[in-house]
Structure 1
Amino acid sequence: MTDYTDYFDEVIQAHVAIEQWFAQEQDETALESLLARFSPRFSMVSPLGRVLDLEALSALFRMAGGQKTGFKIELSELCGIALHERGATVSYREQQTDSRGLHSDRRSTVVFEKLESGEVIWRHLQETFCN
């Protein structure tokens, strides 16, 4: 049996931190902790096809921190795709809502790196909106 537990846990824990960052005013330490989850070589393709690196992700988090009152993330359909010595690829579904009633639904695929220390970090993320 293949064990994706560390990777699924990271998806869940990272989204708890993201939810808190967007919904509540927090200090720089919280942002640094959140950004430490991502590889210095992080890349992402947003649901609209925009390509971001770690610097762009950091700017996005800085801009949106504490700005989405009532923001909630619900995760489901976590699925392991590939597991190897230096990481894994997993997919999941993410539904976001906020107090204004804005809702988005997306499917995501993430490539994780596992460092020699055992720490799991985000290397690449692809998000696609669901209809």
Structure 2
Amino acid sequence: MNRYIQEVIDAHVIIENWLGRGEGSASALMQRFSADFVMIPPSGARMDNQAVSAFFQGASACRPGLKIVIDNVSLLAEWHDGAVVMYKEIQYLPGKPESARWSTAVFRLQQDKIVWLHLHETAQG
């Protein structure tokens, strides 16, 4: 499997464990993201690394029973030190309707470590 696609899957397992069960740590999760990381969630707000970190710091086990499924993953582009990956993320919470979004992530390879540089999410209507 392509290493950037594997990173998408691995990161979402960690996010699911952190948000759903409080397993792991926000600090370890944030090591996956570049200091220049920017995320645009479905709300359209712009979140820099500091804002994303603050969210995860306060979000341990905030979504009990969360299940995240990554589907329809495709490598849009890859070059010597990065890639762009598109995927569908489906979130399931007990007693609530599923939430789906399309995401496009930009990665950079830094000293043989994959880091998230940018993430843009759009809610599936």
* TM-score, structure 1 as length reference: 0.90
Partners of 2:21 and 2:72 in 1: CA distance: 27
Secondary structure of the 2:29 match is: helix
After superposition, the CA RMSD in angstroms is 1.3
Corresponding residue for 1:89? Answer: 84
Q: d(CA) in 2 for partners of 1:58 and 1:100?
A: 28
Percentage identity across aligned positions?
A: 36
- Residue in 2 aligned with 1:121? 115
Q: Which runs of 4+ in 1 moved over 3 A?
A: none
Q: Deviations over 1:96-129 (max 9, x none)?
A: 01123242100000000001x2110000000000
Corresponding position of 1:71 = 66
CA apart distance, 1:26: 3.7
| Corresponding residue for residue 37 of structure 2 | 42
Residue 99 (structure 2) pairs with residue 104 (structure 1): yes
Q: Of 3, 9, 13, which residue of structure 2 is paired with 1:12?
A: 9
Q: Distance in 2 between matches of 1:9 and 1:66?
A: 24
Q: Tell me which amino acid in the other structure corresponds to 1:31.
A: A
Count of residues paired in the alignment: 125
TM-score (ref. length: structure 2): 0.94
| Alpha-carbon shift at residue 32 of structure 1 (Å) | 1.2
What secondary structure is seen at the aligned counterpart in 1 of 2:88?
strand
- Aligned: 1:58 with 2:53: yes
1:64 is paired with a residue whose SS is coil
Q: Which amino acid aligns with 2:9?
A: I
1:42 to partner: Cα distance: 0.2
SS in 1 for 2:4: helix
**CA distance in 2 between partners of 1:102 and 1:65 (Å):** 22
Which segments of 5 or more consecutive residues in structure 2 lack a partner in the other structure? none
3-state SS, counterpart of residue 57 of structure 1:
helix
